[in-house]
Copies of this chain bind each other. A is one copy, B any other.
Amino acid sequence: MNIVCEKSVLAAALGLAQRAVAIKSPMPNLKGILLETGEQGLILSATDLEFGITCQVETKIVEHGSIVLPAKLLTEFVRKLPDGLIEIKSDSENPLKIHIICDPIKFELSGFSPEEFPNLPGVKEDAVRIEVKEGLLREMLTQTEVAVAREDTRPVLTGLLMEIEGGKLKFIATDGHRLAFRQAVTEEKQELKAIIPSRAVQELIKILEPDIDQKVTVYVDNSSIAFDMNGLVLSSRLVEGKYPPYQQIIPTNFKTAAVVDAGAFTAALERAEILVREGGNNLVRLSIQDDGIKLLAFSQDVGAIDDFVNAGVEGEAVEIKFNVRLLLDCFRNIKDKEVNIDLTGEFSPCMIRPVGDHNYLHLVLPVRLNQ
């Protein structure tokens, strides 16, 4: 291998590829990034076996070749080089050794064999193909990933369900205590269900930029998914199994409907959270009345809080207890100013969604504990 490239371009690409590197692995290869020359330039690939990232770097190719280099060291080192051209070339005597030259700096680095580098997860040729705007995809993933189960007692719940149905692209997550649902229009007609592992979703959220209209192409087959962001490809295996029928638990009739200002209600929840975190109970009691919602929280030996947020309320008055963190996770993901809080009673899930928006909703189960 003998290539010449711009430092800044290589540093940026290494920073992206590094995200898929296995943090802890007994296989040195998995702590590495595969560098290989292609038709158009240098291709960087990394994988932790579950998901992978591939990206391209524009380079002048003097001699084709490939090698696996330690990811963290290479990324940090290239970042610290002065701006300008970098030459990367194989050692004439040892093909697993690379020289990185940026005059007067000469860096000699030992690598691993590219033959032993694992295949990245990839989709089959007949994969379903859809397009989503980058900013929208990021928003949809962020709003739903929060409800993914963190423990793997039921493996399917540790992933995010992606569904195409009736001209809608949908993302759904639930951990048994709450459910997050977000949908958007798609032109793809074929119906599908795929469960994306949470780690891949989290990395994707970090890579995607907010408020960007450029399209991301998503490819899905029955075992893998790939997100192509203008040449930067994140691919992942899917979680196997059948996702529970979530539609059945979304309520449609309510006895109490409140409309609150999202900012004011979030601030009140945050104050209550500071108090109950101390006591370890995490409970907030909402008392929904004529003209607003009273928030009461209590922490043994520490103190108590009595707060009130104005709300437009229709229907029956109700008292209901929640884990304040579940409500906060939901409210912090709502950008809209006004929010509907709909309830059927003190033991039924509460539905939270932006006023007039039927594309995003969050269900939170109340706490039944008596206190």
A369, CB-defined interface residue at 8 Å: no
- The one of B97, B105, B271 in contact with A307, judged by C-beta atoms closer than 8 angstroms, is B105
Stretch binding the partner chain, chosen from A72-80, A174-182, A350-358, A360-368: A72-80
Q: Which residues in chain A, 300-336, are within 8 Å of chain B measured between CB atoms?
A: 301-308
Once the chains are docked, how many angstroms separate the CA of A44 from the CA of B305? 23
B73-A278 in contact (CB<8A): yes
Q: What are the interface flags for A286-312 relative to B under an 8 Å C-beta threshold, 1 for contact and 0 otherwise?
A: 000000000000000111111110000
Which chain B positions have C-beta within 8 A of A110?
A: 301-303
A274-B109 in contact (CB<8A): no
A82, CB-defined interface residue at 8 Å: yes
B70-A271 in contact (CB<8A): no
Closest to A300 in B: B110
A211, CB-defined interface residue at 8 Å: no
Once the chains are docked, how many angstroms separate the CA of A303 from the CA of B278? 50
A107, CB-defined interface residue at 8 Å: yes
A107-B302 in contact (CB<8A): no
Which chain B positions have C-beta within 8 A of A278?
A: 70, 73
B82-A303 in contact (CB<8A): no
- The one of B82, B109, B268, B270 in contact with A302, judged by C-beta atoms closer than 8 angstroms, is B109
A267-B80 in contact (CB<8A): yes
A106, CB-defined interface residue at 8 Å: yes
A105-B305 in contact (CB<8A): yes
Once the chains are docked, how many angstroms separate the CA of A278 from the CA of B304? 51
B303-A108 in contact (CB<8A): yes
Closest to A270 in B: B80
Closest to A106 in B: B306
A245, CB-defined interface residue at 8 Å: no
Once the chains are docked, how many angstroms separate the CA of A82 from the CA of B264? 9
A20, CB-defined interface residue at 8 Å: no
Closest to A79 in B: B274
Which chain B positions have C-beta within 8 A of A274?
A: 73, 76-77, 80
- List A residues at the B interface (Cβ < 8 Å): 70, 73, 76-77, 80-82, 97, 104-110, 267-268, 270-271, 274-275, 278, 301-308
A-B CB proximity, top 8 nearest = A109-B303, A104-B308, A106-B306, A108-B304, A76-B274, A80-B271, A108-B303, A105-B307
**With contacts A76-B274, A80-B274, A105-B271 known, what are 10 further pairs, Cβ within 8 A?**
A70-B302, A77-B274, A80-B267, A80-B271, A82-B267, A104-B307, A106-B305, A107-B271, A107-B305, A108-B303
